Amino acid sequence: MTPQQTVLFDASGPRARRLTLIGSLVGAVVALGVVFLLLRAVQAKGQLDPTLWLHAVDANAWTNYYLIGLQRTLEAAGLSIVGALAFGLVFGLGRLAQSRLVRWLAGAVVEFFRAVPVLLMMIFFWLLLATADVDNSSFWGVVLGLVLYNGSVVAELVRSGVHGLPQGQREGALSVGLTRGQSLRSVELPQALVAMLPALVSQLVVVLKDSALGAIISYPELLQSARRLGAGQGNMLQTLAVAAVMFILINWALTRLAEYLSHSLRRTSGRVGIEGAGLETGAGLGTGVTVAAADLPVPGDEGRQPGRGR
């Protein structure tokens, strides 16, 4: 809980606490009742049959489906985030270039790929590469779609990260005799990259989730593997539930990592951390939300002043 919240209301007195407790208990009972009714409806359809669930989590399911699918998801996501970083660096620096033409071109490319739905790009590259005789066109369809979109987001992060640095950094670099380009490469970019780290990890969550779109273009990633297992065992809903839990756990862990990074960076580098990088507003169209999440206070971060640095 942030100090903001604690300040919004008094610590509850005995009466309020009692009311809260009773309310929560009633709420819990109602919730349990709803869950019970849902389970009964699901049971009536035979979906709680233990064999269906056992076949969704037995050794065969893990070794022949989930782990293979997870590996493909990670392959696509890993290659995509690296590609997105390279794309983002090139076009982010392009947007900071001194030449107006380069700035404009880089800006147009970035804005274009941020506006086009990832699924459309995946379908386009998948079908394009398939007719162009490329092996595994669905894999490259997924990767290219993810690289172009997330690369554009990273480009924005790079740009806003550099813009968010204190003026003194560049002034200092110029005054010791570095050129504008040298200052950018050796002084500003390294700091911006460090400040970007939490946002990059958050972006990995986006990449992982979006890689599940690969199922629509028949890339056999985790979701598609779960579906395939379900097709063979007649327990599609159960296997999809397992896949969903795997996605949630992995992404939750990554989100926590992003929060931890942002917390520790904020401590070590003060204002030049994530806030200074202006990530919240520069978070990029599209996924800004997830990026912005890295800027949210870490639970238990009692000492932090809300709104500081704005």
Helix (H, G, I), strand (E, B) or coil at 300: coil
Residue from 53, 102, 103, 288 binding another protein (CB under 8 A): 288
Give the integer Cα–Cα distance in Å for 191 and 162.
Answer: 8
**DSSP assignment of 183-235, as one string?**
IIIIIIHHHHHHHHHHHHHHHHHHHHHHHGGGGGGT--SHHHHHHHHHHHHT-
Q: Which residues contact 135 (CB under 8 A, 6 or more apart)?
A: none
Residue from 145, 220, 273, 276 binding another protein (CB under 8 A): 220
> Does position 168 bind another protein by CB under 8 A?
no
Nearer to another protein, 64 or 264 (CB): 64
> Does position 150 bind another protein by CB under 8 A?
no
Amino acid at 101: L
Q: For the chain, first and last CA: distance in Å? A: 21
CA dist 184 → 69, 161, 181, 191 (Å): 41, 12, 5, 10
Which residues, 58 to 117, sit near another protein by CB under 8 A? 60, 63-65, 68, 75, 78-79, 82-83, 85-86, 89, 111-112, 114-117
Residue from 199, 212, 272, 274 binding another protein (CB under 8 A): 212
> Does position 39 bind another protein by CB under 8 A?
no
Give the integer Cα–Cα distance in Å for 27 and 259.
Answer: 31
> Does position 300 bind another protein by CB under 8 A?
no
Measured from the CB of residue 98, what is the shortest distance to another protein in angstroms?
19
Residue from 57, 97, 102, 123 binding another protein (CB under 8 A): 123
Measured from the CB of residue 285, what is the shortest distance to another protein in angstroms?
5
Residue from 35, 42, 58, 260 binding another protein (CB under 8 A): 42
Residue from 251, 264, 269, 271 binding another protein (CB under 8 A): 251
